[in-house]
Structure formats: C-alpha cells, structure tokens
C-alpha cells in the first residue's frame, strides 16, 4: 500500500499535479464526445475453441527474440536476445526467453530421458522423469543471465539497442527438485567435492560445479512459468544455479558425476574465463554480480516529445536481493533513488521506476544498482581499470543512454 | 531458507529416511551403469533462428485449455479451462489461461483503440493506448477466477477432473495504470459513486463498479506475464479488479462512465447473482472468497502405486493473503497443515505441498484454506445450508477427491 501511495505522489509531482496528469490525454470538447461503438464490436470473433494453446496477438508480431548473423558460424552455436524494451514487470514469457546453444536443440522424448548420478556416491542412481517428479518440488523466481551478456560492450558502445546489450537475460518461476535431495538419495562419499554436469545435446555441454553450491540452492528444474520447460531451455530437465552464469545451468541434463576436483572442461578453461591484463585468466568466476539497465527509454523506445515520462528499468544481483537503484540524468554526476516494485526477491529481476519530466534537452541516462550485501554496480571505467579490455564475460558495468534533442536514444560510452 | 529446511526434513521423514528417498529411484548394479550418450545427442537440432517466438515442446501437446461442448450454444459464448493438474508453481503461462467470452474475441488494432472516461467528471477524456502507457505503471501478481468456477458442482459431484471443477482460474503478473490515476486526471465530481465499464466486444460486456474499489487497487492492464495481453484476455486493454469475480474484469475496455448509482446491467441482474432459497437474489457479490484445491493427485493425475507422494495444491482468497492450508486424508475428520511456498502474495495463488506415504488404502483427500482475515473455506454442506442449491456462482466449497485402491482418483461429494 505504501508503495502505491509513493507511486501516486511521485507521479502527480512529476507530472505537475492533477492538471499535469490530465495533460497526458487531450481534454475533449462536448461535441467530440460520442461514445459510439467501433467497427470491431460488430463482429463475432473467434470462440474458446480457436486456440487450445494461445498465441500473442498478430498485432504484436514485432515482439520477438532476435539474433545477430555475424556473431557465430551457425544458428546452432549462437544466441538470440530477449526484447527487454517491450516487456513489463519481472516475468519473461516463455516464448521470449533468450536462447544460447552450442550445438542446437535436441529433441528428447521425455519418457526416454534419464538422469544418471554416479562417481563418489554410495548408490549410483538412474532417474526417469517420472521418478524425479515424485520428489517434493520447489518453485522459485530467478533471473538467468549469460556470462557474455554485454560482452561486446567491454571496449566501448557497440550495439544500439537494449535487446542486444542486455537481452541475454530472462526471469521466470522455475519448478523442480532441490538437487540436494537427489544427492542425499545417492549418498555422498566423504571425498566428494565437485559435480560434473553433462547435457544431452550434441555439444555434450559439460561443466564442473562445487558441491557447496549444489547443496545450497540448485534445482533440477522441469518447469518454467508453470508449464514444462521449453525445448530450447533444456526440456525435459535443466539445472538451475541461482545467481550464477547461464552456461553452468546445464540444459538437457543427463549425467551428474561426483568427484574430488573440478574436471577442467573446455567450457571452464578455453571459454567462460576472464583474460586479465597480465595474461592470466580468472577461472570459475560463476557469480553474476549486481547490475541494472534502463529498458525505457532505450534505443528501441525513443521519446515521442517533451513532458512526462516514467523511466523503467530492471536490476538484479547473483548475491541476493536488490537494495536500491539510483538513476542519473547527467551521466553520473547526480543520482536520484528510483522506486523498487515489490516483490523484491533474491537472485531475481527487480523492476524499478522513476517519474521524470523531459524538457527537450540532451540527457545522459544511467542506472546504478546496489544489492543487499552492499555491492555497487561499477562504471565501465572502473571495470576496465581492474580487468583490462580483453574479457567478454561478466560485464556488469553501468549503461549510458544518450537522449538526443529529437528524442532518439543512443548507446554511448562515457570517458 | 527455513522453508527449504522444512521441505527436506518433511520429505525425508515421509519417505522413510535416506534409504526411502533412494527408493524413489532404482539402485543400479555396476554392470548396468554405462553412461553412453543417447541417440539424440548425435543430431544437430534447430538453432536460435528456429522460433523467434517460442512454443511448447511437441511432447507437451496434450497440455491445453479444454472446453465442454454441452455448456453453451456456441464457442463464442463459452469457456475453456486451465489444465491445473499439469501446472507447477503459481504462474499460469499466457497460452493456458482460461477464456470466457460472451460474444467471441474482437480483433482490435491497438493504434485505433480508445478509452473514454466521461459522466460525472470535470474533464471528459479520451485516451489512446500510447497515452495510457505514459502513465507510471504498476505490476502485480493476481489470480483471476470466474464467478462460475465450480458452479456445476453446487448440487453434487458432476465433472471428473480438476481442469473442469476448478480450471476457470489463472494467475499472472499484470501490468497497467492504476485506475485511480486516470480518474484523478479526469477529476471526479462529488456525486460520483459508481463506474460503468464497457467492453468493445460484440456483447458490449457492461458492469457497474463501486468507486471505492476503483480507487483502491484496480488496474487498467495492458500486459500479462511481461508481454502485451493476449487477444482472448482483452487486448489491448482490460480492467484488473483484484480478488473480485472475473466477469467484472471487463476486457477490451473502451468506456468508463461515472455515475451516482449502479446501472443494473444484464450481467449484474439476470446473470452473476446468487439465487437464494427464498427466491431472492444476492446481487453485487463480487468477492471471490477463500478457496483451495488439490491439483495432484487429481482425477487426471492418479497414483501409479504405493509409496511416497507429494500432495500439491493451490489456495487463494479475494480478501488478501492465504494464512494456512490444511489437508485431510480421511474426508475432513483429521487435518494436517500443509507447507506454503513463498512468495505468499495478496489476492494471488499460493502453492501448497504435503509430503505423504500412500499405503494403498482408500483415501478421501481434501484441502481447506484459511486467509489472513480468518475466513475459512466451508464445506459444500455448509454452503448449501445457507445458500441452497440454486446458485451457480461463488462456490468456494471444499473439494473431495476419492483415491481408490487401484490409484484412480474420483470427484465425490461427501454427505
């Protein structure tokens, strides 16, 4: 209730009171005010049998995941991006969740899928999906971000659109079995310290996961937003590793091996490491640190004219909850605290808003998130100072959108 | 964290400790344990360009909304039902949200849609969707339940499936403009006490709404689960009336008139009233009272055999948050408190679980929800005692599933 109260006062103040609010819609003269029915009320449209599984309105066909052709050799080893500028709230609809594949999407009959658990365990186990679904489930809202989200922006502004700079990101309610329960069923041997996770795709995606994280909050997930996983998200089974980079959320999960040390797989040595200025690589840097971005205005969501605008954005942290988001309109010199929308959940997207009156001047918009552990989203300059310009992973730098006098918005990098 | 701890202890106890948990999966002999890759790992599947807007796996094509042919004259004046037994968590995916239409789904070009606000206001207003979207938005998770959900069950068990007994129910994150802000922009005259809401469908769905509710928590919603409303859910604009019967959540909303008394429309006089035993009708009974149902086991989700089973269900109340859910396995004589899964949000579905060991006996499963205001879900007998057998709306009675010795599950009515 207090959130709604603040919402209203903030809005009325920003819009210049009630008359300002009224200014968002033209006041009608009496003669114009004929509430006659539009044409479409005269047509009896489709009934409840038209689409047993519904689809978006044809008027929304521009709201899609998009990829770039030049990034990888084939669409089977590529990524597409969530249209963040088109989305509201914190839930990403399943049809718009970004995809990243290393060898395409396998077609797995769920009745034939098996999960093997072996290695340093008392009892090697093999689970069918039906057996896994007998375990007590847990449902949790979590963001999933690719470690490479924003990777092309390390050396400067490259891509003109929030769908491309930040769209390797989605957030859904996942449901599955706590991984801990399955490990306890198998019985861990004392030397067990690491898990090997292997996917059933043609890349046999393989990653090492420390046991402490596996026992903490990982899920063997079979559902997202209520329904079974989409094929491209690992149907029928993927690992959910809350707050950690997407690559380790192994999809089409078929094998878990317990061992006493990491496996040093390709995806944690040649890839998904951060090459530092001294030529060494940071490895096993799984955490997605505190981050935020303004999704509206954005290059794809320009300003149509002067006046009131509600700035909208998303914030998230692999450490836990978002504590605060600040917004700057002058490239980081002055900051105003934004309104966070409940529920503010751990390792989950948080929606923020700031009411704003645009007078037509040039503006440098930024957002800066702070999480419950006190970590502050850094500027790109700070990131480059410590990590150089080689990395492509774990870019959680502050994004700047330049608003031009004509209302267009551009991706820029401040010095 | 404490929730997860309880989860685990409850499960291990119910499953008979670690060995019982292991019993959910066959222990393998060493010779059987060959983790060779299944066939589908040898195929390079589709890439990220295959489906710019994704769809469910073809293996899930049985998970659909379903209608019954005999209920109404045409599919344009009918309802279909959400497959609750197939869903996890609290979010209903947009493609599976039940539909109820009175004259089919109009096709409305969003750029042409207008919302009129007139009557007892200082400034009659006409909003385009772009103008409405300039107002500061709010996103909230809410359930939407048709007043007639379970209506066919008033006189006894009729329909054998939770999809049909309780499936006029969905829950999504809605985003829109607080109705209050738009009313303030128009300026309310002192005599204004009621709103008339009119939809742009061929039925011109029309309902009266008291001003106090309009100023409290109603939303002019344009998005659900992050993306724009689906056509069948009112695209481009519907009213969200948290906790109240679905019929008043007017879809394809095109007109709001302010008046000093209700309009006594067809949908609040001839329909959507509760005919009492004395021949009078309760009118303006908008609230969806505290209710719950077990979604698994259910007639569509039988028990495959003896042993561990996690009972899963949903609870909700138009009064606010769910405070507690109890589960009975003996038709209401003894009750055990179920585990509520966070987040527990007001006027939103809440997921509950109870770990259970089935020994193969006949069981009468029930759930009973209690909300934060202390209201308790009644038995059908109590409901009938006060309201008789004429009503079809506002049935929030306790549901009984009879589990037979062969594991099949039936809808029954206890005396």
For residues B194-215, give the mean pLDDT.
Answer: 97
Q: Would you call B93 and A341 a contact, using CB atoms and an 8 Å cutoff?
A: no
Q: Would you call A178 and B48 a contact, using CB atoms and an 8 Å cutoff?
A: no
Burial class (CB in 10 A: 0-12, 13-18, 19+), B362: exposed
Is B44 within 8 Å of B37 (Cβ atoms)? no
Least Cα separation, residue B175 to chain A (angstroms) = 6
ipTM over 0.90? The verdict is yes
Helix (H/G/I), strand (E/B), else coil: B372 = coil
Least Cα separation, residue A95 to chain B (angstroms) = 4
List, for residues B40-55, the tens digit of each pLDDT value: 898 889 999 999 999 9
More confident residue, B29 or B95: B95
For residues B363-376, give the mean pLDDT.
Answer: 98
Q: What is the pLDDT of residue B36?
A: 76
Q: What is the pLDDT of residue B395?
A: 96
Q: Would you call A116 and B33 a contact, using CB atoms and an 8 Å cutoff?
A: yes
Nearest CA-CA partner of B293 in B96, B102, B121, B87:
B87
Question: Which chain B residue shows the shortest CA-CA distance from A222?
Answer: B88
Residues 6+ apart with CB under 8 A from A272: A147, A245, A247, A393
Q: pLDDT grade, residue B38 (50/70/90)?
A: confident
How many helical (H) and strand (E) elements, i.e. helices and strands, does chain B have?
Answer: 8, 21
Residues of B in contact with A86 (CB under 8 A): 227
More confident residue, A67 or B15: A67
Give the CA distances from residue B257 to residues A222, B102, B142, B329, in Å, rounded to whole numbers and listed in that order. Answer: 47, 21, 25, 50
Domains and CATH numbers, chain B: 75-282 (3.90.420.10), 291-412 (2.60.40.650)
Q: What is the pLDDT of residue A43?
A: 86
Q: What is the pLDDT of residue B14?
A: 52
For residues B175-181, give the mean pLDDT.
Answer: 97
List, for residues B315-335, the tens digit of each pLDDT value: 999 999 999 999 999 999 999
Q: What is the DSSP string of A146-170?
A: -TTTTGGGTTS---SSHHHHH-SEE
Q: Would you call A136 and B353 a contact, using CB atoms and an 8 Å cutoff?
A: yes
Q: What is the pLDDT of residue B415?
A: 66
Lowest mean pLDDT among B23-37, B96-110, B307-321: B23-37
d(CA B293, CA B313): 6
Question: Which chain A residue shows the shortest CA-CA distance from B304?
Answer: A130
Question: Strands A114-119, A253-259: parallel, antiparallel or unpaired by DSSP?
Answer: parallel
Continuous segment of H or E residues that includes residue B367: strand B363-371
Alpha carbon B105 to its chain's center: 20
Q: Would you call A255 and B86 a contact, using CB atoms and an 8 Å cutoff?
A: no
Burial class (CB in 10 A: 0-12, 13-18, 19+), A53: middle
Least Cα separation, residue A401 to chain B (angstroms) = 19
Residue with tokens 């870019």: A395
Q: What is the pLDDT of residue A127?
A: 93
Residues of B in contact with A83 (CB under 8 A): none
Rounded to the nearest 5°, which phi and psi values hold at A275?
A: -75, 120
Continuous segment of H or E residues that includes residue B211: helix B211-216
Out of A59, A105, A125, whose CB is closest to B46?
Answer: A105
Give the CA distances from residue B251 to residues A141, B93, B176, B405, in Å, rounded to whole numbers and listed in that order. Answer: 28, 19, 13, 46
Q: What is the pLDDT of residue A374?
A: 98
Q: pLDDT grade, residue B197 (50/70/90)?
A: very high
Q: pLDDT grade, residue B37 (50/70/90)?
A: confident
Largest separation between any pair of C-alpha atoms in chain B: 83
Q: What is the pLDDT of residue A32?
A: 62
Q: Would you call B25 and A87 a contact, using CB atoms and an 8 Å cutoff?
A: no
Dihedral, CA of residue B385, residue B390, residue B392 and residue B395, to nearest 10: 0
Q: What is the pLDDT of residue A28?
A: 58
Cis peptide upstream of residue B343 (ω within 30 degrees of 0):
yes
Residue with tokens 């770039």: A68
What is the count of residue pairs from A and B with beta carbons less than 8 Å apart? Answer: 426
Least Cα separation, residue B68 to chain A (angstroms) = 10
Strand pairing partners for B143?
B171
Is B105 within 8 Å of A45 (Cβ atoms)? yes
Least Cα separation, residue B93 to chain A (angstroms) = 6
pTM for this entry: 0.95
Q: Which residues of chain A have pLDDT under 50?
A: 1-9, 17-19, 22
Per-residue pLDDT at B15 exceeds 80: no
Residue with tokens 């918009």: A365
Residues of A in contact with B66 (CB under 8 A): 52
Strand pairing partners for A328?
A366
Q: Would you call A227 and B124 a contact, using CB atoms and an 8 Å cutoff?
A: no
Helix (H/G/I), strand (E/B), else coil: B180 = helix
Residues of B in contact with A31 (CB under 8 A): none
For residues B127-150, give the mean pLDDT.
Answer: 96
């Amino acid at each position: 209730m207090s959130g709604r109260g603040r919402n209203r006062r903030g809005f009325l103040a920003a819009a210049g009171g009630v008359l300002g609010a009224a200014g968002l819609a033209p006041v009608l003269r009496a003669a114009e005010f004929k509430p006659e029915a539009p044409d479409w009320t005269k047509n009896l449209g489709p009934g409840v049998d038209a689409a047993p599984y519904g689809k978006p309105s044809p008027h929304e066909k521009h709201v899609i995941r998009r990829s770039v052709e030049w990034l990888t050799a084939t669409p089977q080893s590529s990524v597409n991006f969530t249209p963040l500028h088109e989305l509201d709230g914190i839930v990403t609809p399943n049809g718009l969740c970004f995809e990243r594949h290393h060898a395409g999407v396998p077609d797995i009959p769920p009745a034939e899928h098996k999960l093997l658990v072996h290695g340093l365990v008392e009892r090697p186990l093999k689970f069918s999906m039906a057996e896994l679904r007998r375990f007590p489930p847990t449902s949790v809202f979590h963001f999933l971000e690719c470690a490479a989200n924003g990777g092309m922006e390390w050396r400067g502004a490259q891509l003109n659109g929030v769908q491309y700079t930040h769209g390797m990101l989605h957030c859904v309610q996942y449901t599955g079995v706590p991984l801990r329960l399955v490990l306890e069923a198998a019985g861990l041997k004392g030397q067990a310290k690491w898990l090997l996770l292997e996917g059933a795709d043609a890349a046999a995606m393989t990653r090492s996961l420390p046991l402490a994280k596996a026992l903490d909050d990982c899920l063997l997930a079979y559902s997202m937003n209520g329904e079974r996983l989409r094929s491209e998200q690992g149907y029928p089974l993927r690992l959910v590793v809350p707050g950690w980079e997407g690559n380790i959320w192994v999809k089409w999960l078929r094998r878990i091996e317990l061992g006493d040390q990491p496996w040093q797989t390709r995806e944690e040595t040649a890839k998904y490491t951060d090459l530092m200025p001294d030529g060494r690589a940071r490895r096993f840097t799984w955490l997605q640190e505190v981050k935020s971005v303004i999704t509206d205005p954005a290059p794809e969501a320009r300003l149509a004219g002067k006046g009131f605008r509600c700035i909208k954005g998303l914030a998230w942290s692999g450490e836990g909850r978002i504590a605060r988001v600040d917004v700057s309109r002058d490239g980081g010199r002055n900051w105003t605290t934004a309104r966070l929308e409940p529920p503010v959940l751990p390792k989950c997207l948080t929606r923020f808003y700031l009411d704003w009156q645009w007078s037509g001047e040039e503006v440098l918009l930024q957002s800066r998130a702070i999480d419950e552990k006190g970590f502050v989203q850094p500027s790109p300059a700070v990131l480059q100072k410590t990590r150089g310009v080689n990395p492509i992973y774990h870019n959680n730098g502050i994004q700047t959108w330049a608003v031009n006098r004509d209302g267009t918005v551009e991706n820029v990098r401040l010095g």
